[in-house]
Amino acid sequence: MCYDIRTKLESMLKRARFRNDEQRIRELLDKLEPYLQDDLFHASGFQHPWLLVYPQHEPDLPILCRWGLIPNWVKDDETLQRIQNQTLNARGETIFEKSSFRHSARMKRCLIYVDGFFEHHEFNGKKYPFHIARKDGEPMILGGLWSEWTDRDTGEVLKTCSIVTTEANPMMAQIHNNPKLPEPRMPVILPEEQADDWLIDWRGDLETAKLMDLMHPYPQEELTAYPVQRLRGKEALGNVPQAIEEFHYPELELELTT
């Protein structure tokens, strides 16, 4: 699963800065400034933060989406609030089957740039958060889906997104050991040379096959992981730099080396 991320504005703009002129980027930032923060050291999906994502129809310039995908068939606020907490992630193996995701899987895929994500390890009835990032310090490129939902009362159009997940690599399987889940998961992390393939309109059965081939576990040797302080509950630090600092839990040392 992937319910907690770390990112910053410059990481989300990496693709845009590489492929666009600075004038277009300045215009974009002026327009979106009220919604964006420079740094998200820890952002919980259940707070539905605003993220910049790169959509299929304009893959070099990001659009603003709230995390937690709202399908276009949602009709009322009660359903919206309930389903948005259930669509922070989209299970890659079933995105072409589930009613919440199948339209977006075909027509509205996107790329989401983050600096890292957090996952919880369970030990003796307690949960310990870990921060996972690329060893080289570069942003991760996550495979995502997005949607446009229109409020029938106001006519307002809200763009939302979801992070696609796949089976965990061995390192993530050790960390993400929630006994209530059928299997450990991790987000779909795309190598830079394959990121554009996520946005190609392949069509039909070829599209399904191509995307399934991209949704494999990211190599563990290219990632680093370490425990951090509590992300939830009374001890949670919130969105501060200390949230990504390594934290020592003596009871975990033997657990994660056996």
Structure tokens given for 17:
């800065």
Contacting residues for 227 by C-beta, under 8 A, at least 6 apart = 121, 128, 129, 130, 131, 246, 247, 248, 249, 252
CA-closest candidate to residue 59, choices 166, 190, 201: 201
**CATH number at 4-255:** 3.90.1680.10
- Residue 258, pLDDT score: 45
Domain ranges of the chain: 4-255
Helix (H) or strand (E) holding 91: strand 89-91
| 30-50 residue pLDDT tens | 999 888 888 999 999 999 999
- Percent of the chain exceeding pLDDT 70 equals 98
CB atoms within 10 A of CB 202: 13
- Give the range among 54-63, 138-147, 187-196, 205-214 with minimum mean pLDDT: 205-214
Report pLDDT digits (tens) over 64-95. Answer: 999 999 998 998 888 898 999 999 999 999 99
HSE-CB for 243 with a 13 A CA cutoff: 22
